[in-house]
Structure 1
Amino acid sequence: MRLGSSTDKKDTGRLHVDFAQARDDLYEWECRQRLYAREERHRRRMEEDRFRHPSPPPIVHYSDHECSQLGDKIKDDTAFVEAVKVLLTWVERGEVNRRNANNFYSMIQSSNSHIRQLMSQKATHEKELEVAKDKFKTALSGILAQFEQIVSVFHAASKQKAWDHFSKAQRKNLDMWCKQAEVGPLLFLQLFTSSIHLVKYSLNVI
């Protein structure tokens, strides 16, 4: 091997290339990668926590004090739903025993008494529904009558004594509008019928 210019004296030597890994650099790089991965996991977890609904507070265990408060809540319409959840949890946990059985019986009895209020509310809503149905029928009749008037106008315009005076493009539009007006009442009737069936089904389920 010649070192330098071609006129230099020939020198011989040996070039050693060490292909061993730079372990310190590799270790540092791996540490950085693990750090980036931890930061990314932390960022994703923070994002998930931000959009996750908060967990409901745990339901307390039975005690005479809690039982007394729960009995009042069961009789309160505004707190009834949450109160019954607590009562159900206590029963499912097996917290009923001989000593507190009478207390549980009283709370269950109060829950049963709430049914009368629910039935009264149901009857009130049914009356409101009947009134709403009558109003809807009246409004629908007025809408259908107007549709019929509009369709009559289209039919009159389609008579030859008027039809011949319209251009081809105008006749095309008039024909399309007439078909749309004729379909309109059918759509309203289908909507009304579907609504009635849905309401009847809901009442039967209740």
Structure 2
Amino acid sequence: MVKHPGAQPPDTDDLDELRSAAASCEGCDLFRDATRTVFGDGPGSADAVFVGEQPGDQEDRAGEPFVGPAGRLLDRALEEAGIDRERAYVTNAVKHFKFEPRGKRRIHKKPTRSEVVACRPWLTAELAAIRPALVVCLGATAAQSLLGTGFKLTDHRGEILDLPGFPARVTATQHPSAVLRAPDRDAAYQDLVRDLRVAAEELRRAGTRQPG
């Protein structure tokens, strides 16, 4: 496994300071080809943190997470599930877009385990700063970043678990981009909404200011 120096966030719980520091991160080699670091976005008092795998092409260009088709689908699913999008923070396990060029297009390429590990200090710093009631992992890469490589999304999706090292609960579901690629997109979308409804119920149980 390729070893990377890893991210080195400053010792602060100020998200603006973390975002500023992440902009010059060279903790792994992905910064060389990506346009910019794509840090998380949302309120520092968020009830829930949603963690994806990495920014996509549109996110890399815009510098914001979940602004492409998968982000729009997530917004729709959150509304249907009864989760207040304004009280959610969205981020990724890896903050740089990894891709392979194909003509004029840039095609998503899954980050390696070492790249996920190198970037994990940023995610840890975000969670420590926000202290959410619930973390929702979107896809296997995000889930394994926080719960270890032994975590199987197919076995545990939609379950509410303890998050090691944090006073929060965690749950995992599929990434919205997987819904967009699914042969039966409608069924995959309904599965996502079902999992998010479990998350919504956990947020209400925790006493957060979510729709009743």
* TM-score above 0.5: no
With normalisation by structure 2, the TM-score equals 0.23
- TM-score normalised by length of structure 1: 0.23
Higher relative contact order (CA 8 A, sep 6+): 2
Which structure dedicates a bigger proportion of its chain to strand? 2
Which one has the largest radius of gyration? 1
More helix by share: 1
